[in-house]
Amino acid sequence: MAGSKMMQFVSVPQNLPHKRSVDERVQDFGEIYDRFRDERAQEQASRCEQCGIPFCQVHCPVQNNIPDWLRMTAEGRIEEAYELSIATNNLPEICGRICPQDRLCEGNCVIEKGFNSVTIGTVERYINDTAFEKGWVKPNRPLQERKQSVAVIGAGPAGIAVADQLRKQGWQVHVYDRYDRVGGLLIYGIPGFKLEKDVVVRRWKLLEEGGIHFHLGVDIGAPGHPTFSDLRARHDAVFIGTGVYKARALQAPGVGLPGVVPALSYLTASNRISLGDEVAEFADGRLDAKGRHVVVVGGGDTAMDCVRTAIRQGALSVKCLYRRDKDNMPGSMREVKHAEEEGVEFAWLSAPEAFVGEDRVEAVRAVRMRLGAPDSTGRQSPEIVPGSSFTLKADLVIAALGFDPEDHLAMFGEPELKVSRWGTISIDWSTMQTNLPGVFAGGDIVRGASLVVWGIRDGRDAAASMHNYLLARAAEDAALAAAA
């Protein structure tokens, strides 16, 4: 088993890679952690106890074989560690960077009390970045080409995983996306300080080299673009991985004033600038926080990405209004800590009452909240504290209240497609198939706003099921041809 290299947690303290100083990192959109040096990665991997029942793996949505790749890393067998890592995860270099590890693998690491968990995410990133550097990462070229084809709608993590898995099996894979780049929220939602854009582009190019056809700028269901039924007629199976993009609206007087903007428009503009695009709304200042007093409304990861982006754009002040307290916020504590370090001020237990201004927003009138009785989910509902109004100066307000699915009927024109009461697509979880034969779905459009790693898991599960479906169809075609 482990050998003497492992179980070093008693003598080796937890260490993360070097974190750039606040002064330095707020000057650019680069990631804030450097990569592990080889010896440091080996040392950190050697802290693992090699548990018989590894709870880290149980709580990793793609069930990564964590103890084995930690052992190989500790032993300096990085290429083998890479082979194991890529066997269960289509985007390990990305998950290692942006999974909320404190809630998943690392949060369930059982290293004895008093010692901190193994730094699983950073080791995963190290293994895979090393693999790219050393040239071990090759496109997945199938051994056998099959003639049946699949359409994947959406090139986010769910669509990428399903496409990659099916391509390995030799199916012809066509991915359609309304964006001009591959990655979904990886490219236009998540900022570069969490995930540098060249990491996403590098993976996109590899998928293309493996023979996946990307049809970009194709908005399925929009006027002048192919419809959902066109794709069903053109391909042998379809996967829907369109994510959730309808921003939840702020509801307060003055919300329509110029200067009150939705989070995703703001983040997309910033990401496009990082990618070298020209963005009119950024150039004319509508989506640029430079020299402004910024108020972000919301307490999730999207809100944290907005406040930290505003700091980097040179805002005069950045405040985050959240109606519950810090313990009850949905975002990752790690991200809140980074935001606090970078100078973001949090107004906990506060909600906007009105947006004030003449020609554009000039201030937010807010009100204090307190946590009242628990609702049906057991979560305490926020209540307004009477007479507690206060005003915050604001010339850019960013609404980051979360996302819901778009109108599926408008998008797919298919009244038979079964959806839940929240507008997410309903599937049979044992097959990932919708109620329409040959139509599968996964990622945020099924789960509601979720995580990259869950999108990958869904894509992998759907691909396994679609492979069997396509084999059955191929057998039927062969039988028909033989009978003809």
User: Applying CB under 6 A, which residues contact ligand FAD?
Assistant: 98-99, 153-159, 176-179, 184-185, 189-190, 194, 219-221, 241-243, 267, 301-302, 305, 411, 443-445, 450-453, 455
| In the complex, least distance from residue 73 CB atom to ligand SF4, rounded to whole angstroms | 11
155 binds, among ligand SF4, ligand FAD, none (CB under 5 to 8 A by kind): ligand FAD
72 binds, among ligand SF4, ligand FAD, none (CB under 5 to 8 A by kind): none
Burial class (CB in 10 A: 0-12, 13-18, 19+), 53: exposed
User: Which SS3 state, helix, strand or coil, does residue 316 take?
Assistant: coil
Q: Is 286 left (phi over 0), alpha (psi -120 to 50) or beta?
A: alpha
Task: Tell me how far apart the alpha carbons of residues 194 and 393 are, in angstroms, rounded to a whole number.
Answer: 29
**Residue 212: φ, ψ to 5°:** -80, 135
Size of the site for ligand SF4 (CB under 6 A): 27
254 binds, among ligand FAD, ligand SF4, none (CB under 5 to 8 A by kind): none
DSSP 190-245: S-TTTS-HHHHHHHHHHHHHTTPEEEET--TTSTTS--HHHHHHHSSEEEE-----
Site string for ligand SF4, 446-475 (x = CB under 6 A): -------x----------------------
Question: Judged by CB, which is closer to ligand SF4: 89, or 450?
Answer: 89
Question: Judged by CB, which is closer to ligand SF4: 62, or 263?
Answer: 62
Which residues ranging from 19 to 58 are in contact with ligand SF4 (CB under 6 A)? 48-51, 54-56
CA dihedral for 261, 159, 182, 128, sign (positive or negative): positive
Candidates 103-111, 173-181, 183-191, 257-265; binding stretch for ligand SF4 (CB under 6 A): 103-111
Residue 65 sits in the site that holds ligand SF4 (CB under 6 A): no
Residue type, 152: V
| In the complex, least distance from residue 179 CB atom to ligand FAD, rounded to whole angstroms | 4
379: tokens are 């979560």
Question: Judged by CB, which is closer to ligand SF4: 98, or 260?
Answer: 98
Task: Tell me how far apart the alpha carbons of residues 296 and 307 are, in angstroms, rounded to a whole number.
Answer: 7
Burial class (CB in 10 A: 0-12, 13-18, 19+), 304: buried
Task: Tell me how far apart the alpha carbons of residues 255 and 262 are, in angstroms, rounded to a whole number.
Answer: 11
Candidates 97-105, 265-273, 361-369, 467-475; binding stretch for ligand SF4 (CB under 6 A): 97-105
| In the complex, least distance from residue 413 CB atom to ligand FAD, rounded to whole angstroms | 11
| In the complex, least distance from residue 190 CB atom to ligand FAD, rounded to whole angstroms | 5
Angle between helices 333-341 and 301-313 (to 10 degrees): 20
221 binds, among ligand SF4, ligand FAD, none (CB under 5 to 8 A by kind): ligand FAD
Which residues ranging from 113 to 152 are in contact with ligand SF4 (CB under 6 A)? 118, 120-121, 124
Write the CA distances from 368 to 330, 348, 352, 353, 356, integer angstroms: 19, 8, 9, 10, 17
Q: How far apart are the first and last CA of the chain?
A: 59
444 binds, among ligand SF4, ligand FAD, none (CB under 5 to 8 A by kind): ligand FAD
Please report, as ranges, the residues that interact with ligand SF4 according to CB under 6 A: 48-51, 54-56, 60, 62, 64, 66-67, 89, 95-96, 99, 101, 104-105, 109-111, 118, 120-121, 124, 453
